[in-house]
């Protein structure tokens, strides 16, 4: 897409609820014209969120965004419950009335909403659901159709520990080295950031591996080093099936294991004990090898809860215990992990 985005954060630009917006601003390759946020209007993005590399002005309303030339309104906040509130409905209708396309990953499917759908039809704009998946998915094409790219797949010991961030950092670092590198999104925030991809958790279960296969084939049209975002964890009772489907469908050549430093259990309702890191490495390598061999090339620790010295010591300790390069790619930079992956790919 060559769209010019206005990111709607609606008072929450400073808050972690705006994680979709933050992701697009930090990692996106799409053009961001402005952020729409009445609370922070008049400032610039970096004044509110210094880690966002794509700086942009913050404007008060959709009309101001349109005047700056934005032609897509991207909902950059996950509202409580993910449903469309009456206030947001008005905002989206206003954007549509001004001729803007609308993109969102809400539980409310925009195109299924009669009022929004009618407004979009009459304005000639698109309503794009970031969670929408193709209706012609199937099983993987198989080894007769090899993937013309190298695939690195991030996996994790738990959900929500930074797999997407690690994947994005490694892709960005690879691109900065001049490699033909591509981030392949498998969740709706990743799709918002990349402008393409698929929210595989919305795919019918029979086709998760087929979805991963299609994504890496599409990725291989865009570059020859693919970073496929992982989902869930083999140790998480509720989501392990999605994790294994991605792992087996990915045609991965190497894995990067993401782990929250110090975590010893996993899950929401059912707290399941985790093995120590050498055991987690072994489980992922064994599970992928049921269909295809791929080593854990490196470990990406999330050490946000530790002091810098303790974090460095822990990385060194894990590296000694597992025999894999271990680092916090957000805190200390992605270069060591990237080097280890490239060396594994050979």
CB of 246 to a copy of itself, least distance (A): 8
CA distances from 36 to 21, 50, 57, 181, 277 (A): 10, 17, 9, 31, 43
CB of 277 to a copy of itself, least distance (A): 15
Q: Is 108 one of the binding residues for a copy of itself (CB under 8 A)?
A: no
Judged by beta carbon, residue 114 or residue 142, the one nearer a copy of itself is 142
Q: Is 156 one of the binding residues for a copy of itself (CB under 8 A)?
A: no
CB of 259 to a copy of itself, least distance (A): 15
Cβ atoms of 318 and 296 closer than 8 Å: no
Q: Is 80 one of the binding residues for a copy of itself (CB under 8 A)?
A: no
Distance CA 142, CA 239 (A): 25
Which parts of 178-217 interact with a copy of itself (CB under 8 A)? 200-206, 208-210
Per-residue interface string for the shown chain with a copy of itself, residues 270-309, x marking contact by CB under 8 A: x-x----------x--xx--xxx-----------------
Distance CA 44, CA 31 (A): 16
Interface residue with a copy of itself among 156, 223, 230, 249 (CB under 8 A) is 249
The DSSP string of 267-299 is -SSS-EEPPPHHHHHHHHHHHHHTTS---EEEE
Residue 286: φ, ψ to 5°: -65, -45
Q: Is 235 one of the binding residues for a copy of itself (CB under 8 A)?
A: yes
Which parts of 37-76 interact with a copy of itself (CB under 8 A)? none
Q: Is 2 one of the binding residues for a copy of itself (CB under 8 A)?
A: no
Pairing of strands 150-156, 225-228: parallel
Pairing of strands 272-273, 265-266: antiparallel
The answer for residues whose C-beta is within 8 angstroms of residue 160's C-beta and 6 or more apart is: none
Binding region for a copy of itself (CB under 8 A): 139-144, 200-206, 208-210, 234-246, 248-249, 267-270, 272, 283, 286-287, 290-292
């Amino acid at each position: 897409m060559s769209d010019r985005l206005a990111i709607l954060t609606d008072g929450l630009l400073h808050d972690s609820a705006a994680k979709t917006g933050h992701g697009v601003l930090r990692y996106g390759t799409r053009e961001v014209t402005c952020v729409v946020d009445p609370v922070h209007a008049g400032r610039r993005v970096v004044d509110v969120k210094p880690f966002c590399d794509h700086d942009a002005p913050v404007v008060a309303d959709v009309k101001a965004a349109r005047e700056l030339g934005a032609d897509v309104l991207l909902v950059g906040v996950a509202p409580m419950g993910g449903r469309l509130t009456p206030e947001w409905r008005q905002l989206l209708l206003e954007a549509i009335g001004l001729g803007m396309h609308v993109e969102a990953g809400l539980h409310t499917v925009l195109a299924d909403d009669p009022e929004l759908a009618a407004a979009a039809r009459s304005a000639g704009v698109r309503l794009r659901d970031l969670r929408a998946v193709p209706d012609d998915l199937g099983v993987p094409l198989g080894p007769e159709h090899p993937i013309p790219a190298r695939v690195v797949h991030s996996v994790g010991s738990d959900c929500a520990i930074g797999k997407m961030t690690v994947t994005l950092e490694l892709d960005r670092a690879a691109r900065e080295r001049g490699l033909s590198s591509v981030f392949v999104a498998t969740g709706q925030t990743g799709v918002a950031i990349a402008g393409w991809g698929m929210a595989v958790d919305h795919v019918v279960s029979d086709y998760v591996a087929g979805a991963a296969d299609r994504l890496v084939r599409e990725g291989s049209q865009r570059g020859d080093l693919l970073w496929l975002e992982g989902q869930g964890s083999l140790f998480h009772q509720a989501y392990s099936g999605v994790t294994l489907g991605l792992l087996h469908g990915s045609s991965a050549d190497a894995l990067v294991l993401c782990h929250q430093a110090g975590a010893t259990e996993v899950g929401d309702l059912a707290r399941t004990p985790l093995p120590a890191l050498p055991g987690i490495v072994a489980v992922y390598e064994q599970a992928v090898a049921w269909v295809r061999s791929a080593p854990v090339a490196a470990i990406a620790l999330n050490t946000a809860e530790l002091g810098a010295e303790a974090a460095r010591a822990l990385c060194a300790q894990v590296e000694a215990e597992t025999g894999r390069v271990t680092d916090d790619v957000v805190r200390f930079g992605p270069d060591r992990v990237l080097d280890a992956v490239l060396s594994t790919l050979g």
